[in-house]
Amino acid sequence: MKTLSLGYSPCPNDTFIFYALVHGKIDTGDLQFKEILLDVETLNRSAIKGELDITKVSYNAFGNLRDDYCLLRSGGALGRGCGPLVVSKRNYSMKDLKGKRIAIPGELTTAYLLLQLYDPDLKKNIKVMPFNMVMDAVKKGEVDAGLIIHESRFTYKAYGLKKVIDLGEWWEKETGLPIPLGCISAKRSIGSELINKIDSLIKESIFYSMAHKKESTEYIKNHSQELEGLVIEQHINLYVNDYSIDIGEDGIKAVQALFEMAGEKGIIKKSLLSLFA
């Protein structure tokens, strides 16, 4: 048996996607996977150190990992109406936030990349913290605004917060493309044959979870920051979609547009390497 380290976040979309793969629900042949559940920014940092064979990373991080990691077609988070939000207690506009303290869920997150693409000046007074602490920091007045991701888009109103902007919506209007948030990447050194096999297994794992939705519920709830069933269901329905099964031509165009825009601003290094193995 060949054991590969597999990193993904405890968020419902990821645990839904990988449930069958790591619980022996599908035939993985001579492969077994060691699951490593960490928040996405920690996964980004681990990938930069080359610590994981296969891992979920933000597209922001992946843009600077392409020498060592390639993109898998399955398992990622892309879509429409699913982008990060900037929230605050006050009725701020984005112009009002210049010079204000903004909490972000990590400097390598795609959310932070989008914030910089929207207005580079907003990066001057950021405060980095785990994504699940951002809304509380805004509520307590420790920061003036927060950049929220994951299931926070479903729960921020319960914290008494207001949406300043939906950066995914802004991206879609600017480009006409879906927003690429996170992807599954694999070390190029594994080899293209094995990488393609892993890609197929992830797709099969998604199909299994879609056909056996109740089966993975306990596993998903055990790791989710949000325990309310409806929020978990909304999260999965939004972030697990056709692009999760296969990135598709639209998704590839979206990634290329993101990297081109970020490359022009010097946020992501330009690369001539293919996205894929």
Q: How far is CA 149 from CA 12, 142, 210, in A?
A: 13, 18, 23
Task: Kindly give, in sequence order, each residue whose CB lies less than 8 Å from that of residue 66, ignoring residues fewer than 6 positions away.
Answer: 271, 273, 275
Amino acid at residue number 121: D
CB 64 within 8 A of CB 71: no
List 150, 212, 223, 235, catalytic entry: 150
Gap between the Cα atoms of 182 and 89, Å rounded: 28
Query: Pairing mode, if any, of strands 145-148 and 102-104?
Result: parallel
Residue 23 is among the residues annotated as catalytic for this protein: no
Is residue 273 packed enough to be buried (19+ CB in 10 Å), middle (13-18) or exposed (0-12)?
exposed
Active site (catalytic) residues: 150
